[in-house]
Amino acid sequence: MQILNWNSLSANQQVAALKRSPLVGDNSVEQLVRSIIEQVVLDGDAAISKFNQQFDGAIIDDLALTTAEIDSASARVSDKVKQSIAQAVANIEAFHQAQIFKPIDIETQVGVRCELRSEAIEKVGLYIPGGTAPLISTVMMLALPARIAGCEQRVLVSPPPINDAIIYAAKVCGITEIYQVGGAQAIAALAFGTETIPKVDKIFGPGNRYVTEAKRLVSQDNRVSVTIDMPAGPSEVLVIADDQANPAFIAADLLSQAEHGVDSQVMLVTNSVGQADAVNAQLTIQLALLPRQDIAAKALECSRSLVVNDLAQAVQVSNQYGPEHLIVQTENPRALLSTIRAAGSVFLGAYTPESVGDYASGTNHVLPTYGYSRAVSSLSLADFSRRFTVQELSAEGLKNIGQTVMTLAENELLDAHKNAVAIRLASLEQ
């Protein structure tokens, strides 16, 4: 990776050093995705079938998998994979069960009762990336919280042909509706519905830049009322490391994200030039051994090592970048945790590779990218529910608060608001 001395860069050069891959935000992607969405809206299943053949080389008679097909695919999965899925499911379920909402019910003043309640989103669409890397783990990250939250209809889509382990994981997690479609066309189908694929209320799941763009566009389309989980596009990681960190560990973590796709990005921020050089040497060694080395090498072209003065400045740079994944490999990593302001998920210490969060530690791996981690949270159980407030006033409560409401309404020149209180107070005096 290119090594840059952060403090020798101008302000503009620093901004440029933190820019994402030029493949992200390409205007031609938006135009293509808009065209795909419109074709799905107009032609439904026919458009889906056309795109399945065009983009995935798949000719499919039925978009929906039958129960028999789900069972057959599950039977083909090895016991080793099934055991791994079982352990991951147990950890992910334990962490998300602990997030179950606890209602709030308080009296803010005498006679004024306020509540915060939660209700599961009824219909959710779960997008599982396939293509160059079928993400079995994403099934668990989406399907388990949806089930725990109590979402009534849980619809899963994935590019054909769907990996057997994806199907098995879906079955284990309680998914019965599985449709063979991926890419922007899958997002369009979930948003608008087709003859076969049902329309949902919220769409979840990471994807490439086409999927991410499709999610953005449908969430802003006034023809439908569908929301999305977050901007979750091409994968990225930033590693903060001191001179005590193991360069082989660092290189392995960087490559674990670079292999996701050519539009992925990996960054190293260190207070040691020697560490940056050692990591580059390890990248060369480890990259040569990877089956997906061409993809990873392309991602490394838009990735950088930044040399800073100290670890405090390393955290500042990281907060400015706002990584999806932040790995802290320093002598005392937890000491930096209180200063971290922007990261989708944080991995502390030499023995906490990002891979554990991707698969089985229990945390969710659906995370904000593009720097959105400065304001957007990682996926949690709360995302599968809608929270709403309730208020209930007694006659005494309205008397106690009525004059305050009327005064504020009057000053906002909203006389009808004032009257809604005044007419009730008058009735109490009769």
Amino acid occupying residue 258? A
SS3 (DSSP) at 37:
helix
**For residues 232 and 405, what is the distance between their CA atoms, to the nearest angstrom?**
42
CB-count exposure of residue 120 (10 Å: 0-12, 13-18, 19+): middle
38: Cβ–Cβ under 8 A, 6 or more apart, which residues? none
- Kindly name the residue from 213, 236, 259, 324 that is annotated as catalytic: 324
Tokens linked to 194: 């087709």
- Kindly name the residue from 260, 325, 354, 365 that is annotated as catalytic: 325
The gap between the terminal CA atoms of the chain, to the nearest Å, is: 81
Contact 60, 159 (CB under 8 A): no
**Any idea which residue has 């620093």 for tokens?**
14
Cis-peptide, bond into residue 247, ω within 30° of zero:
no
Amino acid occupying residue 361? S
Does 417 qualify as catalytic in the annotation? no
Rounded to the nearest 5 degrees, what angle is found at the Cα of 347, between the Cα atoms of 350 and 235? 115
Amino acid occupying residue 338? S
**For residues 230 and 227, what is the distance between their CA atoms, to the nearest angstrom?**
9
Does 324 qualify as catalytic in the annotation? yes
**For residues 392 and 107, what is the distance between their CA atoms, to the nearest angstrom?**
9
Secondary structure element (H or E) that encloses residue 344, with its range: none
* Active site residue ranges: 324-325
